Each structure stands twice: as C-alpha cells, then as structure tokens.
Amino acid sequence: MRRRIYWTALVTLLICVPALSWAQGIPMVNVSDSGKGTQYSLSLQILALMTSITLLPSFLLMMTSFVRIIIVMSILRQALGTGQTPPNNVLVGISLFLTLFIMSPVLTDVYKNAVTPYMQGSMGFDKALAAAEAPIRGFMVKQTRQDDIGMFMQMARKEDVGGAEAVPFTTLVPAFITSELKSAFTIGFLIYVPFVVIDLIVASVLMSMGMMMLSPMMISAPFKLMLFVLVDGWSLIMSSLAASFVP
C-alpha cells in the first residue's frame, strides 16, 4: 500500500510539473551555459532530485561503511546464538547511525564543497557533482584493496591508470564492495572463534558427564552472554569497527 501511494504521488508530480511550468511560462527542459557553469531548469532539478532519492538506498549500501557494519553485526548475533535478538530493525539502526558517525567527515566535506555552493548559485551542477565525488572517491580508495581494483580493471579490459585516484567510478564501486565483504567476513571470523571455543568446551564437558541428550546450546548460551557482557562486548565491537576504517 505504501509503495502504491509512493508511485501514485510520483506520477501525479510528474504530471503536474509540466502543467505548472507551462502556466508560469517556465520551459520544461532548459539547459543554459553561464560563466558559473551549466544551469538546469527547475523541472530537470526536480527530476534529478527524485532520481537521487530513489537511488539513495543503493548509495548507502554500496558506497559507505554500511555493508561491513551490518555483516559484522549479523555474524555477531549468530555467534551469540540469540536467534532474533537483537532484532533486524535494531541491527539496521545501529549500523545506520554508526555509518553516519564514520562517514561524517566525508559528508561534511561534500556539504561544504558541493551542496552549499550549488544551493547558493556559485557553482554549476556538473562542477558540484565533481566536487561531491572527490571526498567519496577518496574514502572508497582508502578502503579498497589494490588487488581488487586490478582484478576489475582487468575484467573491464581497461588500460593501466596513473594511480588509484584515476580509476573509473564504475570500476571502483564493485572493487570497494568486494573489499568490504572480505573485511567484514575477516572481522566476523575473529569474533566467531571465541564463541565456538565455548561451544566446544561445553559440548566436551557434557559428553564426559554422559549427558549426550542435553543440547550444548542451552548451556553455552548463558556463558557466551556472560562473557560478552563482562568484556563490554558492544563497546569493543563499535570501537573496533570504527577503527577499522582509519587508513
């Protein structure tokens, strides 16, 4: 129902914008080149805004630290053996706000160097887009392995570039995602090992006592939770994830 309402509102907006533009004498499509850069009409700006809102979840998932954080959180929940606790909404919320914390310098740079000049009219759309791409590209390059960049450059049959800063954006994004997956599963493995050791110890003790019909998970779960609370596990996980993005 929400999706239907969203698409209905979008179609209504697309129908009303041309009528309003015609009534007010504003051309529907207008691209002018001034001394400050390329200027686009209001309708094209609205269309670009709606497109960016639609693609915003993909940008959040594929071009920020969100992928690594949510995977580590999911592996931690499985290692604790708590089922659906914390629930998915809580994990997504934690990952989202931790992503905002980690990406805040990049977002601040984008806002100061691209969004503010564009809103003030001192910078064209194409120049603002290039200024916004620079800090995001810098963040992605620092977190991407050179081997992954080389692999995707070879798959795309691109010539060697002068450095990682000159890698095409369409090649950098999949390389960044691949590196994030590798880093996330490496961190998840290191988190999983202590809890597996606890499961093995509990299972061995139960076997030696002849209590083979008793599930080891029932005994090991309280010990894992106690260990996680005693070592202040949430603080360690949060700080370690944030520190893993420091180049």
Q: Report yes or no on whether pTM surpasses 0.85.
A: no
Residue 60, CB-side half-sphere exposure with 13 Å CA sphere = 15
Question: How is residue 78 written in tokens?
Answer: 């499985």
Distance CA 191, CA 187 (A): 6
Residue 185 CA, distance from chain mean position:
16
Please enumerate, as own/partner, the contacts of 89-98 that have beta carbons within 8 Å and a separation of 24 or more. Answer: 94/69, 95/66, 95/69, 95/70, 96/60, 96/66, 98/65, 98/69, 98/238, 98/241, 98/242
Q: Could you identify the residue written with the tokens 């499961």?
A: 199
SS3 31: strand
pLDDT in tens, the chain (247 residues): 555 555 555 545 545 544 444 444 444 444 444 454 455 555 666 666 676 677 777 777 788 888 899 999 988 888 888 777 788 888 888 888 898 888 888 888 888 888 788 777 777 767 877 888 888 888 888 888 888 888 888 887 776 666 666 777 788 888 888 999 999 999 989 888 888 888 888 888 877 777 777 777 777 788 888 888 888 888 888 888 888 887 6
**Backbone CA torsion sign across 242, 244, 245, 247:** positive
